[in-house]
Amino acid sequence: MNLAQLLDLELPIIQAPMAGVQLGALAAAVSGAGGLGSLPCAMLTPEAMVKELELIRSFTAKPFNVNFFCHVPPEPDAAREAAWRRELAPYYSELGIDAEKIPGGAGRAPFSAGAADALERFRPAVVSFHFGLPSRELLARVKGWGSKVIGCATTVDEARWLEERGVDAIIAQGVEAGGHRGNFLSDDLTTQVSTLALVPQVAAAVKLPVIAAGGIADAQGVAAAMALGAAGVQVGTAYLLCAEATTSLVHRAALKSDAARHTALTNLFTGRPARGIVNRVMRERGPIHPAAPRFPLATGAMAPLRAKAEAQGSGDFSPLWSGQNASGCREIPAAELTRQLSARL
Ligand SMILES: Cc1cc2nc3c(=O)[nH]c(=O)nc-3n(C[C@H](O)[C@H](O)[C@H](O)COP(=O)(O)O)c2cc1C
For every one of its 345 residues, what pLDDT tens digit does the chain have, with 9 covering 90 and above? 678 889 999 999 999 999 999 999 999 999 999 999 999 999 999 999 999 999 999 999 999 999 999 999 999 899 999 999 999 999 999 999 998 888 876 678 999 999 999 999 999 999 999 999 999 999 999 999 999 999 999 999 999 999 999 999 999 999 999 999 999 999 999 999 999 999 999 999 999 999 999 999 999 999 999 999 999 999 999 999 999 999 999 999 999 999 999 999 999 999 999 999 999 999 999 999 999 999 999 999 999 999 999 999 999 999 999 999 999 999 999 999 999 999 999
pTM, 2 dp: 0.98
Instruction: Please give the distance, rounded to the nearest whole angstrom, from the Cα atom of residue 238 to the centre of ligand 1.
Output: 10
Atom from ligand 1 closest to the CA of residue 21? 1
Ligand 1 atom 13: residue of nearest CA: 18
User: Is the distance from the beta carbon of residue 234 to the nearest atom of ligand 1 less than 6 Å?
Assistant: yes
Name the residue of 66, 108, 180 to mutate for ligand 1: max ligand atoms within 8 A of Cβ: 180
User: Is the distance from the beta carbon of residue 4 to the nearest atom of ligand 1 less than 6 Å?
Assistant: no
User: Is the distance from the beta carbon of residue 212 to the nearest atom of ligand 1 less than 6 Å?
Assistant: no
User: Is the distance from the beta carbon of residue 177 to the nearest atom of ligand 1 less than 6 Å?
Assistant: yes
Q: Are 231 and 209 in contact (CB under 8 A)?
A: yes
Instruction: Please give the distance, rounded to the nearest whole angstrom, from the Cα atom of residue 236 to the centre of ligand 1.
Output: 5
Instruction: Please give the distance, rounded to the nearest whole angstrom, from the Cα atom of residue 219 to the centre of ligand 1.
Output: 19
Q: Amino acid identity of 192?
A: Q
Which of 175, 181, 197 has its CA nearest to residue 132?
181
Ligand 1 atom 31: residue of nearest CA: 178
